[in-house]
Amino acid sequence: FSLSLKTLNQPFIKKHQYSDLSVLTHYNEVAKFGKSHAAYIENQCVGFILAEVQEWNSTLVVREFGVHPEYRRQHIGQKLIFKAIEDARAASLRCVFCETQNTNVDAIEFYKKQGFVIDGIDLAFYDSESDQQTEVAVFLRKKISKNRENIR
């Protein structure tokens, strides 16, 4: 498979709904495992990474990750990803894994700059309400070496 950029006639806009009680409950449980971090500026959360260890395959799975739009391109996201990589290395895990959408070009490019590689796609991960499929899940992975050279 390959991914290529395509200009859309209209911008693709997606808003996340974080009000689902089961999702919030799960995220609160994930945060208790100590692999999640937040970045604060003047007591305001400007970025976060929510991650958990997936024991069966020795992987740190990033469940949610984001930086407030006003604070992007200030290395906050990079520092949060580096912290996740350090957490994975300290726990002797083999990789860090995340998922995003083909429509989130900025996220894909960001992860690739941090050393992640596209590891797979899932054409059926997201429901499509129309016959035209607009979103495809893109899985990215960064292998963790035992030494710190793996961190940029």
pLDDT, tens digit (0-9, with 9 covering 90-100), for 102-116: 988 999 999 999 999
pLDDT, tens digit (0-9, with 9 covering 90-100), for 121-150: 988 887 666 556 678 899 999 999 876 554
State residue 133's pLDDT score. 64
State residue 16's pLDDT score. 63
The residues with which 48 forms a beta bridge, in sequence order, are 38, 66
pTM over 0.95: no
Residues of the chain where predicted confidence (pLDDT) is lower than 70: 11-20, 127-133, 147-152
